[in-house]
């Protein structure tokens, strides 16, 4: 069987030749080939089934410091040739940009010499029928767990096998591959006249390293039942504990301020703060593009720069922004190997864990709100103002007491990071931005 990476690289090489022949001074071509499977079950029925193969060719063409891009799924040589001529013609009509251009160095200058474990053989080996049976079994598990579970927003099982290749006119040639799998469940609990949905999902490079299906189902059930009997709290200020999935969403808001793109555009509260103390001593943030088995790991990024481990924040002190080549030039830093689809993206960004479980964190808390879910998007990246609708649990004397709903949590990201006074050890690398549970010393709870 032909290796899809070889095919992808051959197409990328042929494409940059055509773009160069059309008059480009520099060119870059990326080819992605992805085989996907997905199924969804509700109660006793499979409600959605997908099996697909996608192929995408993306090209950047430069004429001096002018540039244009195109993407296509038509791999016919004639079509690619026509697109090559069109993209070069388009680049000639674009304004000059002194920061535009390919990287000066590539992954070959710091190539990763170890297996990053991005491919798990059990993904391609597993039969689709087995995954369908698993989705149905998850549905049975959530409904059998408690009489209050009366419905479901579906149990889902999916996977993908991807290959990609990158070539440019400065001599870079590279290919890579990866697999990923996902399981999720969303049981609905009857709570009087109300319904409580408990979403939970997991992802990994392979089936054996992912959380088991039954564990995912029961965790989702626990989330739904935990919110039964929820009441609206009074407005107050007190500590807030972010469960790890919500903690990851907070870190996602921090990433937006760490992106060199937002720094260059003036849309970050971290501008001119390299070397300053931003968070508490417990806050260390790392982006590691070479984390073995990480969902964002690869030997090189989307423009051929070697990935690396970047300490973004060390014991609360801001050390680095994250950047690709273009935005790095705009802010005066080297690329950190974070190019992603035409912009800056995380590789494996995480808050360094401390120790203990979420239950341990709760047990050491006199009074707080444990946040299990947030709603809406109300973060101002330029100022760091943070506000979300939330659902969760009221904690008192180290114990969860009752569920809360219809309230907001608000503060600023600088105050939140500075106020982190406890970090758990429950980190799981099930996304490209992840965090363990943590506690913020004080936030505003907006209720009745």
pLDDT in tens, 373-389: 998 766 788 999 999 99
pLDDT digits (tens, 9 = 90+) for 224-233: 999 999 999 9
- What b/e sequence results for 54-85 when a residue is b if at least 16 CB atoms lie within 10 Å of its CB, and e otherwise? ebebbbbbbbebbbbebebeeeeeeebbebbe
If you average pLDDT over residues 22-51, what whole number do you get?
96
Q: Poorest-confidence range of 1-5, 73-77, 144-148, 293-297?
A: 1-5
The whole-number average pLDDT for the span 295-302 is 96
C-alpha span between 448 and 351 (Å, rounded): 33
Grade residue 171 by pLDDT with cuts at 50, 70 and 90. Answer: very high
Assign 143 to helix, strand or coil: helix
The fraction of the chain above a pLDDT of 70, given in percent, is 97
pLDDT tens sequence across 119-130: 999 999 999 999
- Rounded to whole angstroms, how far apart are CA atoms 171 and 102? 11
3 state SS of 253: helix
Mean pLDDT of the chain: 95
Summarize the confidence of residues 194-209 as an average pLDDT: 95
The answer to whether the beta carbons of residues 346 and 431 sit under 8 Å apart is no
**Whole-number pLDDT of residue 153:** 95
How far is CA 184 from each of CA 130, 135, 243, 430, rounded to the nearest angstrom?
16, 9, 17, 12
Select from 217, 36, 220, 200 the least CA-distant residue to 128: 36
CB 113: neighbour CB atoms within 10 A?
A: 6
Q: Domains, the chain, ranges and CATH?
A: 4-36+48-109 (3.30.2290.10), 121-161+176-223 (3.30.2290.10), 236-446 (no CATH)
Q: Please report the pLDDT score of residue 280 as a whole number.
A: 98
Residue 321, classed as helix, strand or coil, is coil
pLDDT of residue 4: 87
pLDDT at 341: 82
Instruction: Return the pLDDT at 3.
Output: 86
Longest dimension (CA), the chain: 72
pLDDT of 441 reads 97
The answer to whether the beta carbons of residues 421 and 441 sit under 8 Å apart is yes
So what's the pLDDT on residue 126? 97
The pLDDT, as a whole number, for residue 378 is: 67
Tokens representing 423 are: 């970090």
pLDDT of residue 379: 76
309-325: average pLDDT: 98
Q: Which pLDDT band holds residue 404 (cuts at 50, 70, 90)? A: very high
In which band, very low, low, confident or very high, does the pLDDT at 134 lie, cut at 50, 70 and 90?
Answer: very high
The enclosing H or E element of 125 equals: helix 121-125
Element of type H or E holding 242: strand 236-242
Smallest CA-to-CA distance from 156 within 139, 179, 141, 178 is with 139
Residue-level pLDDT at 380? 85
Phi-psi region of 49 (alpha: psi -120 to 50; beta: other; left: phi over 0): beta
The structure tokens listed for 179 are 């697999």
Tell me what pLDDT residue 376 has.
79
Mean pLDDT, range 319-346, rounded to an integer: 96
Cβ atoms of residues 150 and 26 within 8 Å = no
Strand partners, 300: 306
């Amino acid at each position: 069987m032909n290796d899809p990476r070889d095919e992808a690289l051959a197409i990328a090489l042929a494409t940059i030749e055509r773009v160069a022949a059309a008059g480009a001074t520099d060119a870059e071509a990326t080819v992605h080939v992805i085989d996907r499977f997905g199924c969804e079950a509700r109660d006793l029925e499979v409600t959605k089934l997908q099996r697909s193969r996608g192929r995408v060719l993306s090209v950047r063409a430069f004429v001096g410091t002018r540039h244009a891009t195109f993407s296509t799924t038509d791999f016919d040589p004639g079509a690619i040739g026509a697109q090559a001529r069109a993209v070069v013609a388009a680049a000639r009509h674009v304004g000059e940009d002194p920061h535009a251009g390919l990287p000066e160095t590539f992954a070959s200058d710091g190539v990763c010499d170890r297996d990053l474990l991005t491919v798990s053989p059990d993904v391609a080996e597993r039969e689709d029928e087995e995954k369908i049976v698993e989705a149905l079994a998850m549905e049975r598990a959530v409904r059998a767990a408690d009489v209050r579970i009366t419905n479901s927003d579906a149990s889902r099982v999916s996977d993908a096998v991807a290959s990609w290749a990158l070539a440019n006119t400065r001599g870079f040639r590279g290919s890579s591959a990866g697999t990923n799998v996902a399981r999720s469940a969303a049981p609905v609990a009857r709570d009087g006249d109300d319904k409580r949905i408990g979403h939970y999902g997991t992802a990994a490079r392979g089936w054996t390293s992912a959380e088991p299906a039954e564990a995912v189902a029961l965790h989702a059930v626990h989330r739904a039942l935990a919110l039964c009997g929820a009441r609206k709290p009074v407005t107050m200020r007190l500590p807030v504990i972010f469960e790890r999935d919500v903690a990851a969403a907070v870190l996602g808001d921090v990433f937006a301020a760490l992106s060199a793109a937002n720094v260059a555009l003036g849309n970050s509260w971290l501008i001119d703060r390299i070397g300053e103390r931003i968070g508490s001593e417990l806050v260390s943030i790392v982006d590691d593009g070479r984390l073995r088995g990480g969902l964002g790991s690869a030997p090189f990024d989307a423009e051929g720069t070697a990935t690396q481990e970047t300490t973004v924040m060390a014991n609360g002190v801001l050390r680095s922004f994250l950047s690709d080549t273009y935005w790095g030039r705009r802010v005066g830093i080297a690329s950190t190997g974070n190019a992603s689809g035409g912009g800056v993206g995380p590789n494996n960004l995480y808050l360094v864990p401390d120790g203990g479980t979420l239950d341990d964190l709760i047990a050491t808390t006199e009074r707080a709100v444990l946040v299990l879910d947030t709603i809406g998007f109300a973060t101002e990246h330029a100022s760091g103002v943070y506000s979300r609708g939330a659902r969760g649990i009221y904690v008192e004397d180290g114990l969860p007491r009752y569920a809360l709903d219809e309230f907001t949590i608000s503060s600023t990201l600088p105050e939140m990071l500075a106020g982190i006074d406890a970090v758990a050890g429950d980190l799981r690398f099930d996304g490209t931005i992840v965090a363990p549970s943590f506690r913020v010393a004080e936030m505003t709870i907006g209720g009745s």
